[in-house]
Amino acid sequence: MKMPNKEKPLISVIVPIYKVEKYLNKCVKSIINQTYKNLEIILVDDGSPDNCGKICDKLAERDDRIRIIHKKNGGLSSARNAGIEIANGEYIGFVDSDDYIEEFMYELLLKSIKENNTMLSVCAIYYTFENGERITKIKDEKDRVFDFKNAILEMNTYRLFDMGAWSKLYHRDLFESIRFPEGKLSEDFYIMYKIFDKAQRVGYVATPCYNYLQRQNSISRNTKINHDFEDAAKCQMEYLDKKYPDMRIIGHTAYASSALTVYDFYLKNKVKCPKDRVKHFKKIVKQNIEYVNQAEFLSKSKKIQFKLFLANKAIYDIVFKMYRKIKRV
C-alpha cells in the first residue's frame, strides 16, 4: 500500500465543465503546469452538449493525473459534488472552467496552510477580461491569518476575498458533512460561512493567483443568481444569530446589503423591478437598519445609501445611475 506523502500531500483539483469549449484548454493547462506537481485533476463534464467531453478525454491522454467524469447535466453544484465524492486528495481545490490560475497558486496556498496551521487558505484574485486586460483591487497587502469572525467580515464586505469556492484550498475534512446545494445558484455563499466555521482560521495569500474571467451572462440568469444570493444571506444571518450572537451586526448588515445588491442589479441592467420586489427589499432594509447604523465596518457613504433607499427610491435611482455613469461601471 502506498503511504501518503506528508511533505507533498495530494491536492485534488475539481473542474466543473459546461459549454466552455473556448476556455477549457487554457484552464486545464494552467492546472497541469502548476509548480506543485502532486495533483489529482478531476474534470467533471456536466453533460456539456458541445465538444467539451472530447476535449477532456484528449487532455487525459496527455497527463495521467487527469481523471474524467462524464455525467448527466445537473448544474454547477452537482458537478462539484460529483468531484468531491471521488477525490483522493488530502486537500481539495476548485477551478471554474472559464478561468485560469497562476502556476504557483497551489504551492502558495498549501504553504500558507502549513505555515499557519490552518485547514483553509485563500488567495487574492485578478479580474480578467476577454480583451486580455486584468485588474486586482489588492494593493500593498501582506499575507496574514484571519480568525472566524474577521474572515466572515472580509467575505461579506469583499475587501480582500469573497465567498467564491475557487481561489481557495481546503482540507478535505471541511467537506465531511457539507456539500454544495443543488438546484441553487449563488451556491458558494450557501456553504462558505459553514466552511469558515469548521476551519475557524483562514490563511490569506496576498499574491493574486486566480484569474476570474468577467463574462457577460444573460440577464435572466443573473437575476436568479442575485435572488438566491439574498436567500443565502438570510441563511447566513440565521446561522450566525443562533450560533454566534456577537456577530449579529455582521449577519444582519449582510442581509440588508443583499437586498440592495439585488435591487441595484435591476437598475444596472435597466430591468424594471416589480413593485412587490421593491416592497420586499425595503422591508428587509427597514428591519435591519439599526444593525446597519451600528456597523463600524461600513463607510458613511454606504450607510447613506441605505437611508436614501428607504427615504426616496426615485432619488436613489437617479443617484445610482449618475454614479455608474461617472465610474463607468
The span from the CA of 42 to the CA of 34, in Å, is: 15
For residue 208, which of 136, 148, 153 has the smallest C-alpha distance?
136
Say whether both 36 and 178 belong to one domain.
yes
Query: Under a CB-based contact definition with an 8 Å cutoff, are residues 240 and 248 in contact?
Result: yes
∠ CA 298-292-153 to the nearest 5 degrees?
Answer: 50
**What pLDDT is recorded for position 325?**
67
Sequence letter at residue 170: Y
Say whether both 260 and 202 belong to one domain.
no
The span from the CA of 236 to the CA of 152, in Å, is: 10
The span from the CA of 311 to the CA of 307, in Å, is: 6
Say whether both 272 and 196 belong to one domain.
no
Q: Is residue 60 part of a domain?
A: yes
Q: Is residue 1 part of a domain?
A: no
Q: Is residue 322 part of a domain?
A: yes
Q: Which residues contact 137 (CB under 8 A, 6 or more apart)?
A: none
Q: How many residues does the chain have?
A: 329
Say whether both 167 and 32 belong to one domain.
yes
**What pLDDT is recorded for position 32?**
99
Range of the domain at 290: 219-327
**What pLDDT is recorded for position 43?**
99
Say whether both 226 and 114 belong to one domain.
no
Of 193, 213, 233, the domain-final residue: 213
Total domains present in the chain: 2
Of 152, 180, 213, the domain-final residue: 213
Of 151, 182, 213, the domain-final residue: 213
Full pLDDT tens readout for the chain, 329 residues: 445 566 799 999 999 999 999 999 999 999 999 999 999 999 999 999 999 999 999 999 999 999 999 999 999 999 999 999 999 999 999 999 999 999 999 999 999 999 999 999 999 999 999 888 999 987 778 999 999 999 999 999 988 999 999 999 999 999 999 999 999 988 999 999 999 999 999 999 999 999 999 876 644 556 666 789 999 999 999 999 999 999 999 999 999 999 999 999 889 888 899 999 999 999 999 999 999 999 999 999 999 999 999 999 999 999 988 877 666 54
Q: Is residue 253 part of a domain?
A: yes
The span from the CA of 158 to the CA of 200, in Å, is: 19
Say whether both 33 and 167 belong to one domain.
yes
Which CATH number goes with the domain that contains 20?
3.90.550.10
* Helix 148-157 × helix 248-268 angle, to 10°: 20
Find cell 445609501 and name the residue. 305
pTM for the predicted model, two decimal places: 0.92
Say whether both 269 and 151 belong to one domain.
no
Say whether both 42 and 155 belong to one domain.
yes
Please give the mean pLDDT across all residues of the chain.
93
- Grid coordinates in use for 329? 461601471
The span from the CA of 161 to the CA of 159, in Å, is: 6
Distances (CA, A) of 104 to 124, 137, 149, 318: 13, 20, 28, 45
Q: Is residue 19 part of a domain?
A: yes
**What pLDDT is recorded for position 6?**
64
**What pLDDT is recorded for position 275?**
94
- Grid coordinates in use for 256? 440588508
Distance of CA 283 to the CA centre of its chain: 27
Say whether both 99 and 243 belong to one domain.
no
Q: Is residue 3 part of a domain?
A: no
Say whether both 279 and 202 belong to one domain.
no
DSSP 257-277: HHHHHHHHHHHHTT-PPPHHH
In terms of Cβ atoms closer than 10 Å to its own Cβ (0-12, 13-18, 19+), residue 90 is middle
Q: Is residue 164 part of a domain?
A: yes
Q: Give the bridge partners for 203, in sequence order.
A: 121, 145
Query: Under DSSP, is residue 309 helix (H, G, I), strand (E, B) or coil?
Result: helix
**What pLDDT is recorded for position 321?**
83
The span from the CA of 62 to the CA of 28, in Å, is: 11
Query: Under a CB-based contact definition with an 8 Å cutoff, are residues 199 and 174 in contact?
Result: yes
Say whether both 165 and 224 belong to one domain.
no
Distances (CA, A) of 189 to 67, 181, 226, 254: 27, 10, 11, 12
Alpha helix (H) residue ranges in the chain? 21-32, 52-62, 76-86, 105-116, 148-157, 187-199, 219-243, 248-268, 275-294, 300-311, 313-327
For residue 11, which of 126, 97, 78, 111 has the smallest C-alpha distance?
111
Q: Is residue 21 part of a domain?
A: yes
Say whether both 188 and 54 belong to one domain.
yes
